[in-house]
Amino acid sequence: MAHALDRHVALVGFMGAGKTTLGAQVAERLGRRFVDVDRELERTLGQSISELFEERGEFEFRALEADVTLRTLREDRPAVLALGGGAVETEEIRQALRRYALTVHVAVDAADAWARVADSDRPLARDEESFRALHARRQPLYAEAADAAAGDVDGIVLAAAGILVEANLLARLDELVTGDEVEVIADAIVLGLHRPPLNAPLHALRGREEAKSLGAVERLWRELRLGRGGTIVGFGGGCTTDVVGFAAATYLRGVPWVAVPTTLVGQVDAAIGGKTGVNLPEGKNLVGAFHWPVRTAIDPLLLETLPESERRAGMSEVVKTGLLAGEPLWELPDGELVRRCAAYKAAICLRDPHERGERAVLNLGHTFAHALEAAGDFRRPTHGEAVALGLLAALRLSGQDTSAVEQVLAPQPVSVNRSAAHAAMARDKKSVNGSPRLVLLEAPGKPVTGVELPEEQVRDALDALIVD
């Protein structure tokens, strides 16, 4: 398992790496408690680390450190832990990390570490030469213990979600996909642009919303030949990963899967967080499951072959994320844009993996968008066009500035059946007794969920997105 959905996030690394500072920030982002093992040890024994070293010696200190670390790791409630720099030297701790935690190495080079701690009272930072030797000796242990490496909060959050964002990642995908058997399900359009990502049995899907049908899933169920120890790889856009994830959730009552999103929509939104599903004629994503991918492999270089229409579709989700975060993320270059958006969504999904609370903020604009898509038989408008219009409606109802949506996305009203759109909105998954519960903004960066407005006001907002 390459994510920390039900496990601790443990930070390991040399002294001076910043584990305590980063750990506290990550814990806040993930809504988890933070445990600094060194501080917990000091609190438990009533002495500072330097005093413990001085009075009891390193051997006894390591035993005390192991006791506190192991006790913390064995607690059921997932937390974010910052381990002492030398904790990985204890084999029992390394074994416990593999069992109970997603472990992230926070790296620091010896020169930077020495500059940060040389004037401290750390017992193993008295002499630069021995300090550097200790740094070199521990590096293989950090590598052995860690599931991932990261140097900032976004990187740790992405690692906790099992997400890797890296240019040219596709070239080494075979290193990341494990399982007794592997089969690939790919978007047929994407296969015309890129070679299959793995040497494995291949199943092609139609592109876009046409893939998201029960008929397509049934065909996959009947074609798949792997056992329960196998892994399915989904290679394509957001529609592809939606249907592949649902097929993986239901085939043999659930098998592992890896998401390899190739579009901007997929890389910043659809492939993140474990929501999978297919459409019914009555509405979008009415059948689905929560089935978190064991790994999400994102290669921003795949966006270079993206048609402009697909890029615009993805920018709708980028603008949505920026509005929720209160930052103009749409202004960033592709690599950073993808990384920031993916980290924002990943943190929310880790806090609320089954959408029982705040994860609903990610539906900003989507109640309107899904109604328009259903009314257009999932052909026109496209998902991106519909989300752009939905954001426009949500901002208008929020009384917020719409310029970001208008300037970046330039949404235009669409020609769909009004009655069908109204009916689809009433049947939206977030509706209660036919009345939609909306996500609106008090201000950029301050979303509110479950907003109920007068039916006529909501209908008027939807109607303003439709042209006869």
Residue range 216-222: mean pLDDT, rounded: 95
For position 362, which CATH number holds?
Answer: 1.20.1090.10
| Upper half-sphere CA count for residue 135 (Cβ side, 13 Å) | 20
Are 145 and 191 members of one domain?
A: no
Dist CA 267 CA 344 (whole Å):
12
User: Which of 98, 69, 100 minimizes the C-alpha distance to 85?
Assistant: 69
Which of 407, 450, 410 lies closest to 428 in space, CA to CA?
A: 450
Lowest mean pLDDT among 249-258, 306-315, 409-418: 306-315
Whole-model pTM: value is 0.93
| 329 located within any domain | no
Distance CA 17, CA 19 (A): 6
Say if residue 108 is in the same domain as residue 150: yes
Residue 373 lies in a domain: yes
Percent of the chain clearing pLDDT 70 (strictly above) = 99
Percent of the chain with pLDDT strictly greater than 90:
79
One domain for residues 287 and 368: no
Over the chain, what is the mean pLDDT?
A: 93
d(CA 112, CA 140): 19
Q: Is residue 119 part of a domain?
A: yes
145: domain CATH number is: 3.40.50.300
Whether 468 is in a domain gets the answer no
**Once rounded to an integer, what is the mean pLDDT over residues 50-72?**
90
Assess if residue 333 is contained within a domain: no
How many residues does the structure list for the chain? 468
Residue 53: pLDDT above 90? no
User: Are 213 and 135 within one domain?
Assistant: no
**Closest-CA residue to 435 (of 465, 419, 460, 456):** 456
Residue type, 176: L
Query: Does residue 177 sit in the same domain as residue 286?
Result: yes
Indicate whether 325 belongs to any domain.
no
Give the domain extent around 23: 8-157
pLDDT at 4 > cutoff 80: yes
In a shared domain, residues 148 and 215? no
Q: Are residues 118 and 92 in the same domain?
A: yes
Residue 180 pLDDT level (bands cut at 50, 70, 90): confident
Residues 179 and 152 reside in one and the same domain: no
Whether residue 151 sits in one domain with residue 12: yes
Same domain? 241 vs 366? no
Contact 235, 203 (CB under 8 A): no
* pLDDT recorded at residue 378: 83
pLDDT in tens, 111-141: 999 999 988 888 888 899 999 999 999 999 9
Q: How many domains does the chain have?
A: 3
Verify that 74 and 88 share a domain, yes or no: yes
Helices (H), ranges, 31-106: 37-45, 49-73, 91-100
Instruction: Tell me, yes or no, whether 124 and 184 share the same domain.
Output: no
Tell whether 245 is covered by a domain: yes
